[in-house]
Amino acid sequence: MKGLPALVCTVFLAVSLHSPVVATSYQIIQLSGLPGATGTTPVAVNSSGQVAINSYLPSTEEAAIWQNGTVTPLPPLPGYTRSWAYDINASGQVVGYSSTSPSVCRACMWQNGTPVDLGWFGDARAINDTGEIVGRGSNYTRAVLWQQGTLTDLGPGEASGINNRGQVVGWDRNSRAMLWDNGTSTVLGPGYARDINDNGQVVGTAGDAYDYDACLWENGTVVKLGKYGHAAAINSSGQVVGYCIGGIWQDGVVTQLPALPGYYPYEELDISDNGQAVGWLFSTSGLGSLSVLWRPVPEPSSLAVLLCGLGACLGLVRRGR
């Protein structure tokens, strides 16, 4: 089988490049917005380093994708004047909404930069890698699930996250964190569930308006991650980011993220399966903020494993000739 050595190398490299990375240091990359933007908000990142952002322009807002310094605009649907993004999946599909005013919004998805009308008034909050989408319908009053053109009403409330198994999280109109799974709804407790990974771990906020914590729901238990904060996202490795968490939380350990001179990390908004995170740095003078991407730098031992594996692959190729 002459193709086997090349196949082994291809598989090894693919797994190495997209697997979770153990890092003790991070590269900080400042995210640029669309030309003329007065500010930029990053909202989501995938393992390819594509970041869904929103740019504030002098008379409007417009969604975009940032990748390696290049910013690609995501225009609104025809007849609308604004666009806003919330999430991006592994294929680079982005979801959000188009609007003419805060009260008139249409859920949409961008495929290769082109907006697609999803068929309801409201917004699309999250998309998984199979293209299933959740959000808020009926002008923000109902949690909804979109699957291959079919819209399912999940009940009064909001849906904010979906994993690749089709499990949906959000909250109901009574401010209770919810899990929807194949037609069955489960109350997780008072609070707001914001994201779920493929292992069924859920993150969000537990409590009420006066006493709340960033939290992780797992196997019927609640793990508190930070007082008066919220957990925004969790990846497949169980790494959690959010507000008042202090960095990246994993298995009870918090890894602090670095900042640029004159700034401090304020909030992390999303984290990809290979550990790339997006969020804000705030100025220590209180006079501004920066949108950034934290890209993990592999430990020397991890890099050595990668190089050894590459060397083994090259040896297989030579012997296979």
Domain coverage including residue 207: 24-298
Residue 301, pLDDT > 80, answer no
Residues 249 and 319 in one domain: no
pLDDT value at position 308?
53
When pLDDT is averaged across residues 104-131 and rounded to a whole number, the result is: 97
CA dihedral for 207, 209, 211, 213, sign (positive or negative): positive
Identify the weakest region by mean pLDDT among 22-26, 44-48, 139-143, 275-279.
Answer: 22-26
Q: Report the number of distinct structural domains present in the chain.
A: 2
- The one-letter amino acid code at 294 reads W
Residue 290, pLDDT > 80, answer yes
pLDDT value at position 29?
98
Contact (Cβ atoms closer than 8 angstroms) between residue 172 and residue 156: yes
Residues 273 and 304 in one domain: no
Give per-residue pLDDT as tens, 56-112: 999 999 999 999 999 999 999 999 999 999 999 999 999 999 999 888 999 999 999
Residues 250 and 283 in one domain: yes
Residue 244, pLDDT > 80, answer yes
Residues 133 and 4 in one domain: no
Token output for 187? 């109350």
d(CA 33, CA 62): 10
Residues 191 and 285 in one domain: yes
Give per-residue pLDDT as tens, 156-183: 999 999 999 999 999 999 999 999 999 9
Residues 126 and 50 in one domain: yes
Question: In sequence order, what are the residues at sequence separation of 6 or more whose Cβ sits closer than 8 angstroms to the Cβ of residue 122?
Answer: 97, 105, 106, 107, 135, 136, 137, 138, 139, 140, 142, 144
Residues 100 and 129 in one domain: yes
Residues 129 and 175 in one domain: yes
pLDDT value at position 98?
98
Q: Please, what is the Cα angle at 119 between 171 and 193, to 5 degrees?
A: 15
Q: In 202-288, at which residue ranges do the beta strands (DSSP E only) sit? A: 202-207, 212-218, 221-227, 230-234, 240-243, 248-250, 253-255, 263-271, 277-283
pLDDT value at position 9?
35
pLDDT value at position 7?
33
Confidence of residue 23 (pLDDT cuts 50, 70, 90): low
Contact (Cβ atoms closer than 8 angstroms) between residue 239 and residue 201: no
pLDDT value at position 140?
86
pLDDT value at position 313?
47
Q: How far is CA 321 from CA 10, 309, 315, in A?
A: 16, 19, 10
Predicted model pTM:
0.86
d(CA 219, CA 234): 15
Better-predicted residue by pLDDT, 205 or 244: 205
Residues 38 and 158 in one domain: yes
Residue 19, pLDDT > 70, answer no
Say which CATH number the domain at 28 has. Answer: 2.130.10.10
Residues 190 and 93 in one domain: yes
Phi, psi of 315 (to 5 degrees): -65, -40
Residues 210 and 97 in one domain: yes
In a 3-state reduction of DSSP, which class is residue 319?
A: helix
Percentage of the chain beyond pLDDT 70 is 86
Residue 286, pLDDT > 80, answer yes
Confidence of residue 298 (pLDDT cuts 50, 70, 90): confident
Report CA 235 to chain centroid distance, whole Å: 8
Residues 3 and 61 in one domain: no
